[in-house]
Structure 1
Amino acid sequence: MKKIINDVASVEEQMIQGLVKAAPDMLRKLEYGTIVVRAQRKQGQVALVSGGGSGHEPAHAGYVGKGMLDCAVAGTVFTSPTPDQVLEGIKAVATDQGVLCVVKNYTGDIMNFEMAVEMAADEGIKAEYVVVNDDVAVKDSLYTTGRRGVAGTILVHKIAGAKAEEGADLKAVKEVAEKVIANVRTMGMAIAPCTVPAAGKPGFELAEDEMEIGIGIHGEPGTHREKLASADTIAKMLVDHILADIDYKGQEIVLIVNGMGATPLMELYIVNNFVHDYLTKQGITIYDTMVGNYMTSIEMAGFSLTLLRLDDEMKSLYDAKAHTLAWKK
């Protein structure tokens, strides 16, 4: 295993410390755990909390800032943060308007965030949560009951965060988050696995001429593997799966071409070139495109495609200003 680290046991702590030092005017780290919050605590508006295992950078701490998250709680690599950690994050940002937790659909994440929300209620904090399940590849996996939450989570952060920034109440912020979840879909693939530092070996193996279709973001295998194909062929396969799940024809969408950590921008732009043309031929209007690393799987080589069907409200909230390390729109 080759990693540019100091010690396996200190990876998450040192990563979070370095991230906060990159934007000290925007972020601060809590004393307890690997928890990042806004440098200036928000008042009088709903606060947003998200998180999960480390290894998905820039998610989730990269989306803490004005117009998006108030707090990101990081567990160890690919491992949910504990309920106590999540509770500390909630308490650090809670306002009189309440807290909305954005949770990806993984069994550990749901169990621990749900428990933290209940503990917060015991302390008089109004908190609720939504579950993101945008991955069309699998209905169930080793990590979930139902579909996994993947890169579409970023768009929930953005749009719900903008709604909260407007001063909407907790009910309205939760409703718009659920609307994004209902309209966003993702599917991914990989040509090389990643290695969790504590494990010291790849999560699965691929031959030089193989690719894995339907991967998640925790280094887990996908639905199946097949011979490596051209970028256009791979992209069409993923898009067709997404379009079979939800009708985007005649709609405006946001498109995310998301790298999994080790895929060059050159290759992501080649994928984007095909996807733009292919969706246009399907009668789908691309309102905006994001190409880059938004929710990764350490150094996995591959990509995912995310489509969000917009309405006027979501479009306006998507366009609202945000200021975080990783959101560059």
Structure 2
Amino acid sequence: MAPLTNDARRFAREAIGGFAAAHADLVRPVHGGVVRASATPPGQVAVVLGGGSGHYPAFAGWVGPGFAHGAACGEIFASPSAGQIASVARAAENGGGVLFGFGNYAGDVLHFGQAAQRLRAEGVDARVLTVTDDLASHPDPSQRRGIAGDLTVFKIMCAAAERGAGIDEVEEIGRRANAATRTLGYAFDGCTLPGAPRPLFSVAPGRMALGLGIHGEPGLDEAELTDADTIADRLLDGVLKEAPDGARRAAVLLNGLGATKYEELFVVYRRIAERLAAAGIEAVAPEVGEHVTSLDMAGLSLTLTFFEEDDELAELWRAPALAPAFRALTRYRAALDAGRAARDPYATGRAMESVGGAYQELGDWQRAADWYGRALAQRLTRGERSDAARLHGRIAGVHTYAGRYGEALRSLRSALAGYRKEGDVPAQARALSELARVLEYAGRPEESLHTCQEAVEWARRAGDVRLQAALQLRLADTLDRLGDPAAAKLHRGAAERMLGEELAAPEGAEAKPSEQAANTCEIRSASAED
């Protein structure tokens, strides 16, 4: 290992401090590790990963929206203490409980279990899930070590938490992902601990060790070092021995252990991709790179997580994530590259919008606005006024979420102008409705009132009864805030009559309100707490 250290005893702590400083937009340091820079949404399950340091990107590199909520980081190759783990969990938890994820190693099993007991004693629902993907470590799957399969299992589990699943469902999905995951690896040389004069373990020159563990644990056997295609075949054959019958789809991870670099991995993956295609197995969002390392260990591993047809695990694997070392926007970026390569401006613009949507889903409002802006520029260049107006609306939405009401109002007025030029009456009504809502958020109730009244008229022209009713309720709420309860009561009555008439419409009558309007406006009157 390169001697870039100060005091070896402080190496892990200094590394995590530098990591947090470099990625302050995504993580913040706490006692025992890191958590997301933004608070866990209320009621969301907090997934806290962890283990010894020395395996970056595992585990701190996976903290961020769409992935983990926190990571407990021990010393090099040493489990974090129960106190450190509990500290990280308390910083991450926000009412939805905690699910701990870690590899199946004795120290981690002990300490994460103790931390879960402490949290349960404090009234927090705390669970544990161990990853057991290493084929070479034990014939019994439940007794195996956890290695590179950590990535696929934890990513799937964390995506379930991000979408709002409860702790029982998140735990069950994690166990399903672990049961579907298999890993096999080769080591070509060992690693050296910071400050150590010699390697912790080694492999004889010209030899390779099948299944050698990431801390030097014994493997299955040794063989003479061979070429890349042969290594790819042996790894894939070994993993496919435990493939489910009829397996046709799998997440694929070719992982470098630290000293085996990307070009070498790509040479190996070329052969793996050919073999998978020949076997009729679709590689779902494949990952090639360093994800679970062992300092400067030379070697690689192949992980497959098998999916059934229409399996939700596949969608969770592909779901967006924004962590320092894992930015799962691959499918959108691929679409963007394809559109650019084909010189297809329309496809390129749609892909840009999809990237913006992924960032919006992850709560990264600035990047979302930036990508929507790129898509908008594409539409304006092509004179596509309707799509341009719609994108102005999407930009306004992310500015609103971010609390940038002035920018949101400017974007909404641009959207409104575009819809007027297009003569799109329903869209004008919706844009005016949103404009009134943002004016209310911006503390301009009188302007909001007048805009809302204008929106009611446009909704009437569009024949959108539900939108009219929603606007009447918004008028009532605004009038209450302005101190006119009598007028507010009249508008609430109008809303109730509209909704009553719509509910009483003859069976089979076609509903006029648009889906967009129903999604835009909430049909309720605000409480005093709003």
**TM-score normalised by the chain length of structure 1:** 0.94
Per-residue CA distance 1:73-114 (angstroms, 9 max, x = gap): 011111111111111111111122111111210111111101
Percent identical residues: 39
Report the count of equivalent residues.
325
Partner of 2:123: 124
Q: 1:37-186 residue pairs with structure 2 within 5 A?
A: 37-42=35-40, 43-139=42-138, 146-186=143-183
Q: 1:14-33 residue pairs with structure 2 within 5 A?
A: 14-30=14-30, 32-33=31-32
| Counterpart code for 1:193 | G
In 2, the alpha carbon distance for the partners of 1:200 and 1:107 equals 27
| Counterpart code for 1:93 | A
Cα pair 1:204 1:220 within 8 Å, conserved: no
Cα pair 2:46 2:68 within 8 Å, conserved: yes
Cα pair 1:255 1:290 within 8 Å, conserved: yes
Q: Structure 1 residues 294-303 or 209-218, which shifts more?
A: 209-218
Unpaired runs of 5+ residues, structure 1, are none
In 2, the alpha carbon distance for the partners of 1:140 and 1:113 equals 25
| Counterpart code for 1:14 | E
Unpaired runs of 5+ residues, structure 2, are 329-530
In 1, the alpha carbon distance for the partners of 2:59 and 2:215 equals 14
Higher Cα radius of gyration: 2
Query: How many angstroms does 1:140 deviate by?
Result: 7.5
In 1, the alpha carbon distance for the partners of 2:160 and 2:178 equals 15
**Alignment partner for residue 203 of structure 1, among 200, 203, 216?**
200
Structure number with the higher helix fraction is 2
- Give the match's secondary structure for 1:85: helix
**TM-score normalised by the chain length of structure 2:** 0.59
In 2, the alpha carbon distance for the partners of 1:291 and 1:316 equals 19
Partner of 1:237: 234
Query: How many angstroms does 1:220 deviate by?
Result: 3.2
Q: Which runs of 4+ in 1 moved over 4 A?
A: none
| Counterpart code for 2:67 | M
Query: How many angstroms does 1:248 deviate by?
Result: 6.3
- Give the match's secondary structure for 1:191: strand
Q: Structure 1 residues 250-259 or 213-222, which shifts more?
A: 213-222
- Give the match's secondary structure for 2:100: strand
In 2, the alpha carbon distance for the partners of 1:265 and 1:294 equals 12
In 1, the alpha carbon distance for the partners of 2:24 and 2:166 equals 29
In 1, the alpha carbon distance for the partners of 2:121 and 2:104 equals 24
In 2, the alpha carbon distance for the partners of 1:86 and 1:216 equals 24
Cα pair 2:131 2:178 within 8 Å, conserved: yes
In 2, the alpha carbon distance for the partners of 1:279 and 1:265 equals 20
| Counterpart code for 2:86 | L
Partner of 1:10: 10
Per-residue CA distance 1:129-161 (angstroms, 9 max, x = gap): 1110001012089xx982100111111221111
**Alignment partner for residue 220 of structure 2, among 217, 220, 223?**
223
Query: How many angstroms does 1:288 deviate by?
Result: 2.1
Partner of 2:322: 323
- CA-atom RMSD in angstroms: 1.8
